[in-house]
Chain A
Amino acid sequence: MKRVAAVGVSQTRFQPRHPDKNYADLIYDVTTGALKDAGMTIGQIDNVVTVSNDFWDGRTISSMAVMDACGSYGKNVSTVEGDGTLGALYGAMRIWSGSFGTTLVVAHSKGSEGSPFLITNAMFDPFYHRPLGLDAISSAALQAQAYIDRRRARVEDWARVSVKNHRNAKLNPFAQLPMDVTVEQVMASPVKATPLKRLDCSPVSDGAAAVILAGEDRVGESRQKPVWLKGVGYAAELHYLGDRDLSHPRALELAAQKAYSMAGIKDPKEEIDFLEVYDAFSYMESLWLEGLGICSAGEGGKLTREGITEMKGKLPVNASGGVLSAHAVLVAGLVRFIEGVLQIRGAAGAHQLDRAGMGLAHGINGPCGQSHCVWILGKN
């Protein structure tokens, strides 16, 4: 199987609303942005994978609205309805399979245009869960409470995640919520659903992102140094919340094991230099670190409390500010991937880390992280 690398990346600024750009306009920006980053032309793109969701876009076959914007005319173009990390997985598989030499992966979402409550309520089955009025926040609150009840997680540690990531966002010009907040302010922010407070929750953003992937025989077409896709793993667990132990991200453990095995990683916390994880809610950063095997169950909060996940810590997590600071749904996973690429290139700007040879990027899909995709990205 030939090696595949990321050779071009682009993201929009993430905002509560992009009032002057429809979703095709956002895709024009990131498609041309990624081509410019790579120094490539649209003619060098063999195929395209788009990432979108019909409910967020308010139309069916939402991918079709961005087909010309992503330059896919006359090309093999296909769509992922799911997180952007899964779009990258599909795009890479198209090269690994030998079918194509390069893939452009684009993702867009305008959370401002629909109703996040109704759209996330609609991710639940219409028979048993949707009529209860559950949405992304209340279901996550059940998971957060399960994390407390089963693993003795502490809400103060989650507040520290919020403080850290919003502070990191001050160094990221693409982030929506760069700010200085204190643990006390997070703890005092209005309760959405116990134990989650407003500053434990990500915003819903407008934005888009694009990545150009190339097989090793084609990476020379980009002016950028390739960032190699060293490993990937994907796994899902059951959909009904009550079927799962919400405090135990079993699918993430499986996805991480696959990704580490493919990348030849034996001890992730020693071999990986930094992580970008999908912290749609503050507690998720701690819980996902447990699922990723960075620490044992119940120890995720301690990593933040002890400063290990700070930019200057031993294992920085979400130096970009994470999803807490910018959350265009679906796009946010591809942004984790892009942030991984930028760090490894040494091109992350003000939030560049000192050690960034090998990074982990992570995305989730479904309520309470029902499925997880884990990427290992490396310089060599």
Chain B
Amino acid sequence: MNDQWRRDTRPLILEGGIHMPYSWTVGRVGSRFLIELRDHGRIMGSRCPNCHLVWVPPRLRCPECYAEIDDRAWMEVGPHGTLRHFTIVRYEHPAQPMKPPFAYGLIDLDGASRAITHLISGMDLDCLRPGIRVKPVMESTRQGHILDIAFFTPVGGSNQ
């Protein structure tokens, strides 16, 4: 078998890409959460009637015990909360909503049993510590999107 062609053939690279638009249905639970955020600037959670955990964003059924959570179990949480953990991102990508350095945090909103993940900004990143109190900064024009919360920022500056 003459295998010379395997050595002689210079492999080609095909440049291409996929741009795929989607229209994702948010669902009634997610829609109500985002509409409360859009129309009233409120962050809603839902309390499991069985195990009493408060979930944010709200769920149709409790992820822990699978009990159904009905509309009456919805409640406002936060808006203040405590920063549980954070990371300061140093690398850049166009799909990031902020230019690095910027921070992500897991935030325990007051009244919620589980944390939400969001951006942390509006302060000197070196002042971030786990346990500091934070509050959301809302966009003035809101459209029913998680980034209607622009980011969370320390309550009253860098410390408390």
Contact = CB atoms under 8 A, between A and B. Distances in A.
Contacts of B97: 131-133
A146 interface: yes
Interface string B106-147: 110000001111110000000000100000000000000111
Contact of B117 (A137, A142, A191, A192): A142
A144 B87 CA distance: 9
Given A138-B89, A193-B90, A117 B114 contact: no
Contacts of A343: none
Interface string B78-120: 0000001111111101011110000010110000001111110
Interface residues of B, number: 39
A132 B146 contact: yes
Interface of B: 11, 13, 16, 18, 22, 24, 26, 30, 34, 55-57, 63, 84-91, 93, 95-98, 104, 106-107, 114-119, 130, 145-147
A145 B86 CA distance: 7
A193 B91 CA distance: 7
Nearest to B131: A149
Nearest to B147: A131
A241 interface: yes
A141 B24 contact: no
Contact of A242 (B24, B115, B146): B115
A141 B87 contact: yes
Nearest to B6: A20
B95 A242 contact: no
Given A127-B30, A132-B119, A192 B91 contact: yes
A308 interface: no
Interface string A105-147: 0000000000001100100001111011111011001101110
A194 B90 CA distance: 8
A144 B88 CA distance: 12
A243 interface: yes
B91 A131 contact: no
Query: Which 5 A-B pairs have CB atoms at the shortest separation, nearest pair first?
Result: A242-B115, A133-B96, A141-B87, A20-B11, A193-B89
Given A127-B57, A134-B117, A243-B55, 9 more contacts: A117-B93, A118-B95, A128-B116, A132-B146, A145-B87, A240-B117, A242-B56, A242-B106, A242-B117
